[in-house]
Amino acid sequence: MARRDLTAPPIARALSVAGVGALALVVIALTALALQHDRSPQPSGAPTAGPVPTFSFRGPGPDASASPSSSATPATGGAEERFLARSAEGMLWRATAGACGAGEPVVERSDDGGTTWVDVTPRSRGIAQVRALSGLSGTEAELIADAADCSPQLLRTYTQGRFWDPYPDLLARATYPSGSAPTVLASPSGEVALPCAAPASVRVGAQQTALVCDGVAHTRVGSGAFAPLPLADVVALDVLGRATALVSAGTDACAGTLALTWVDAAGTASAPECIPDSDPAAPAAIAAFDDEVIVWSGDAVTTIAR
């Protein structure tokens, strides 16, 4: 058996230790370099730090750096169109529309009321433009989105956004905005013309359909015609039964922030309620429920108890 040489000079032993230390430094440097080059997408279960400015929220204009004010023109529709939903157990979902062939949509999930968000965009399904987003029972969601060839598909997730599966039979029974603008509602009974060429915030409920045309909200009950509501500068809306929740900019009572107003089935509008941390010039989305209203404006997600 070989014996260790305990008689080696101190200088030799020092050089040996220095060599080992240098080798350790080389290993550390190579490991850091490998990690720097391996910046793969974050796993779907890992939350991002929030709030996260994932999207470019402000539309083009003569001075995009100017501070927002209540007189700014609200940005709605197009690729920056927004969607916001809540599952039955409180999980939040949001999306930007994107544009088929011109810009990728982004779908995200939040488990903590909108403080942090996880990117759950079903890229493996080749989605090109989001048309509708809804919360389902439990913690799951449903998405209507154009495929890569711009044909519509209905996707559902029962894994909190990790996997999305198509349901063509449910798509055939759904009502959703269609067309490149979109310009019509696709429904099981046929297409329904929308009241303007570039509608925004199209929301389809069990009792009514509502949308925004050039800052004016329009609603349609059953198979009737679209009729305008008595409120200007509407940025986003949602429907809850026969009531319509509207988020608007430029109100005298809420200078510098968005305002929340309810319009009932008779067309009577409530007093506006100012929404803190909101930006009148940014795209927005709203999700209305019996117990609360959730508003996504700029980078902020605000919950207002009812």
**Every domain of the chain and the residues it spans:** 47-53+77-174, 177-291
Q: Region 134-144: what's the mean pLDDT?
A: 97
Residues 6+ apart with CB under 8 A from 216: 228, 229, 231, 232, 234
**pLDDT over 80 at 136, yes or no:** yes
Q: What is the pLDDT of residues 155-184, one digit of tens each?
A: 999 999 999 999 999 999 999 999 877 889
Q: Average pLDDT of the chain?
A: 80
Q: What is the pLDDT of residues 225-272, one digit of tens each?
A: 999 998 999 999 999 999 999 999 988 899 899 999 999 999 999 999
Strand 200-204 with 216-221, pairing: unpaired
Residue in 244, 234, 247 with CA at minimum distance from that of residue 286: 247
Going from the C-alpha of 195 to that of each of 45, 192, 231, the distances in angstroms are: 41, 10, 17
pLDDT band, residue 142 (cuts 50/70/90): very high
The model carries a pTM of 0.75
Q: Sign of the C-alpha dihedral, residues 154, 56, 182, 292? A: positive
Cβ distance 149 to 169 under 8 Å? no
Q: Region 66-89: what's the mean pLDDT?
A: 67
